[in-house]
Structure 1
Amino acid sequence: MKKLFSKKSLKKDKETSIVDADYARNKYFKKGINFMADEKMEDACETFEMALRIDPNHVDSLLKLGYAHFHLDDYNSAMKAYDRVLQIDVTNADAWNLEGLVYYEQKKYAKALDCVEKSIDSEPTFGMGWYNKSCYLSLLNQVPDAIDALKRSIEIDVKNAKRAVKDPDFVNVRVEEGFRRIVQVVVLESIRQGYHNMGQIVWTTFLSKKEVEDATRKLILKGLITVHEKRQGLQRVPTWDLVPQLVDKLKAQKRGLLGPKKIRVSSSIKELKEVSETIQLTKMAIEKGDVEEILTNFEQFIDPAKKGSQMIDHFFEEHRDIRLYKIRLKERGSDYLSLNKDKLLELLDKIDLGITKKLRTEITQS
């Protein structure tokens, strides 16, 4: 019995040791992130090194260590950190992309392009990878390919449109008609997804009001969209819709010429309850740490054909936050979830509380 008890104790001590090591590593990692947020890059480097002494193969610490060195213009140390990541996982999209940024800063654009292509090969939906590829192609004066890569990056993340308009790396392609059409394409896609007025389009595309006005005017002249006026208080504001032929061509689902149908009170109550139910399922997924289920539920909140329109109508700011969280969670997975679990739950609680208040109002009015 004594011998058996001794083995059990050793096993328990070993498990405790592993848990303690993970806790210490994560503690240093979080501390390093905080130093980076405060722009204390040297302190961040030291802290990430301490995390790596505990776990030399902790990929996130290596990536952050490299990025901190990068911001200190210590490109050799940055490359060493990224190379260590690639020794662990040669398909790591972030490491390849970040190595490309080092070559970019050194004006070695061909090498930067080679790295980012490996990044995209590992993760074909890596929006920032496609954006960086378009920059490098532009700097190498490969204009048509640069335009194609930029369009792909915008399809993945529409924020890249505004970023591109102001990015000096695209000086070689600004005169191209393809580049000038990019903002129009983004606005057209936003309308197709169910965002019909100025506020919604600006909010979801991150374009300026002037850019949207210019784009919609050109799209009207091209016969791709129609404009209507809708009364809001004492003002009449423009709303835009796709022309019927384009609706058919793009196979938009169940959208009339004048955009989404107005929601009746009874329908609104049902839809708000469905959003609330999805919130509860998402909170359960967060507690379980199920990243795939969280991403699936977030898509419910974002997609206008599902619950996206209700979120835009009732929770503009929260809708944007969920879009951002989805991107980050898809990029960084469970580590990002563990670091932001409380924030995610707080956001969902805020939406759920807002739904409860709206339901009470709707029921009272009906």
Structure 2
Amino acid sequence: MKKPFGRKSKEIDESNVKKEKVEETSLVDSDYNRKKLFKKGINLMADEKLEDAIVVFEQALRIEPNNIETLMKLGYARFHLEDYGEALKIYDKILDVDVTNPEAWNLKGLVHYEQKNFSKALDSVDKAIETDPTYAMAWYNKACFLSLLNQVPESLESLKRSIEIDVKNARRSIRDKDFSNVRIEEGFKRIQEVVVLESVRQGYHTLGSIVWTTFLDKADAETALRKLLEKGLIVKNEKRDGLSRIPIYDLAPNVAEKLGKEKKGLFGITRKTLPKPVKNLKELSQAIQSVRESIEEEDLEKTIEIFDTFIDPAKSGEQMIENFFDEHREIRLWKIRLKDRGEEYLIENKEKMLVLFGNIEATITKKLRNEISYSADKSQ
């Protein structure tokens, strides 16, 4: 049997199970037993004890048969045990409860993908995209399925769309065998240029380091670098290495200002220099404090109102998309659910919301410290 968590990245990107132990609390509420079983199941999945996790999730479902969160993890465990028939039944049950659940549609598509039924897989991810047009992984999977169906132009368009939403999908596509039908196309060559440009932006300046970080063949990397030079997106210089000189590449000044740079520090850790003007992280942090209070107080109207701060591009939406894209999508979906289901949905998802905003706040605090430290270093 395949190692359960060693599958393709596209299969687990949206349902990643972190190798973390979930602490059990002694909080007493009407749903305590289900939550306790759910957390136990997550811990078992983290230990790759999927059969045991399935037993526990099924026990939790006896308490609340239509709990989406539990059903999703049960389907995920069945999927990784290659019990595709049962996984499909579970995803269909989720969609009976919530036909607009994009993750369930995407995962259903991956089951059909494993069964080599690419037409059905394509239909499923199309429904995921209809529900959430910014679902990058669904667009990526759609590109894979279209390639396997030999619909080359459509595959490239979907892949480009997925990269526009999440640039990491460009690098992911380089070694994905599902794109063997489109790899020779000029459109795919341009995607290789995106991958190389991103590598340079992250601070990898030599051909060897670019090949290493992008997984491109040396010839493809050289071709991409030449095209980027011709377009004026990068510049080429040389540095001395003993008696010889090595070509080094960097972003053209105007591109660097627009994209920002990531410079490698000690131990290979990168630190991003945000493009000017620097976003107002303090305002975002204050909004997070306000929304956490409203969630704690279970104030539905106030929570929906503050959510708009994180979604509206005229407020902090643009900054959220730039720095917290996945979280931005989650908040947007939460806002829709809150309007549809009201206070009950807020109470059910209170803990999840608080965790997400707590994580964002921790990241923002770290970014603020880095910015202050970096500004101080530059002024010396």
Which TM-score bucket, shorter chain as reference? 0.5 to 0.7
2:64 is equivalent to residue 48 of structure 1: no
Q: Which of 333, 347, 362 is matched with 1:346 structurally?
A: 362
Tell me the TM-score normalized by structure 2: 0.65
> What is residue 259 of structure 1 aligned with on the other side?
257
Counterparts of 2:255 and 2:83, CA distance in 1: 56
Offset at residue 104 of structure 1 (A) = 0.8
Percent of paired sites with the same residue = 43
> Residue 312 of structure 1 corresponds to which residue in structure 2?
none
Contact 2:175–2:215 under 8 Å retained in 1: no
| Alignment correspondent of 2:132 | 123
Taking the TM superposition and a 5 Å limit, the aligned residue runs for 1:69-80 are 69-80=78-89
Question: Do the aligned residues in 2 keep the contact of 1:28 with 1:48 (CA within 8 Å)?
Answer: yes
Aligned to 2:144: 135
Aligned-partner SS, 2:252 = strand
What is the deviation of 1:59? Answer: 1.0
CA drift at 1:176: 1.6
In 1, Cα distance between the equivalents of 2:259 and 2:334?
37
| Corresponding letter in the other structure for 2:252 | D
Gap change, CA 1:258 and 1:150, over 3 Å in 2? closer
- The 5 Å alignment of 1:161-240 reads 161-185=170-194, 198-199=203-204, 207=214, 214-221=223-230, 223-227=231-235, 238-240=249-251
TM-score (norm 1): 0.67
Change (3 A) 1:138 1:30: same
Aligned residue identity for 1:198 = G
**Number of aligned pairs?**
299
Deviations 1:8-30 (A, max 9, x none): xxxxxxxxxxx723333333323
Which of the two has higher C-alpha Rg?
1
Partner SS, residue 257 of structure 2: coil
Instruction: Name the residue aligned to 1:279.
Output: 285
User: Does the Cα contact within 8 Å between 1:283 and 1:348 map onto a contact in 2?
Assistant: no
Deviation at 1:154, TM superposition (A): 1.0
Matches within 5 A, 1:346-365: 346-354=362-370
Query: What is the DSSP-based 3-state SS (H/G/I as helix, E as strand, rest coil) of the residue aligned with 2:31?
Result: helix
Matched, 1:241 2:252: yes
Q: Gaps (5+ residues) in structure 1? A: 1-18, 243-255, 263-267, 304-318
- Aligned-residue CA RMSD (Å): 4.0
User: In 2 relative to 1, CA 25–299 (structure 1 residues): closer, same or farther, beyond 3 Å?
Assistant: farther
C-alpha distance in 2, partners of 1:160/1:352?
A: 28
Structure 2 distance, partners of 1:214, 1:287, is 53
- Cα distance in 2 for residues equivalent to 1:83 and 1:96: 9
Structure 1 residue 46, shift from structure 2 partner = 2.1
Check if 1:300 corresponds to 2:316: no
**1:283 Cα shift?**
3.6
Q: Which residue is equivalent to 1:337?
A: 353
- State the AA in 1 paired with 2:257: G
Which has more helix, going by share of residues?
Answer: 1
Matched residue SS, 1:181: helix
Q: Which moved more, 1:338-347 or 1:124-133?
A: 338-347
TM-aligned CA deviation for residue 272 of structure 1: 7.2
Aligned-partner SS, 1:198: coil
In 1, Cα distance between the equivalents of 2:370 and 2:100?
A: 42
Q: Matched residue of 1:227: which SS?
A: strand
Following superposition, the deviation at residue 332 of structure 1 comes to 7.8
DSSP 3-state at the match of 2:122: helix
Note the alpha carbon deviations across 1:43-71, whole angstroms, 9 max, x for none.
22222223322222211211111011101
Match of 2:37 among 14, 28, 37: 28
Q: Is the 8 A contact 1:138 1:169 kept in 2?
A: yes
Whether contact under 8 Å (2:233, 2:255) holds in the other structure is no
Residue 137 of structure 1 deviates from its aligned partner by 1.1
Which amino acid counterpart does residue 169 of structure 1 have in structure 2?
A: D
- The one-letter amino acid paired with 1:106 is Q
* Mapped partners of 2:250, 2:317: distance in 1: 27
| Aligned partner of 2:96 among 56, 73, 87 | 87
Q: Deviations over 1:230-277 (max 9, x none)?
A: 99xxx99643238xxxxxxxxxxxxx5773699xxxxx9x97794334
- 1:161–1:271 CA distance, 2 compared to 1 (3 A): closer
On the 8 A contact 2:234/2:251 being kept in 1, the answer is: yes
CA–CA distance in 2 between the matches of 1:107 and 1:129?
A: 17
Q: Tell me the CA shift for residue 121 of structure 1.
A: 1.4
Amino acid corresponding to residue 163 of structure 1 in structure 2: R
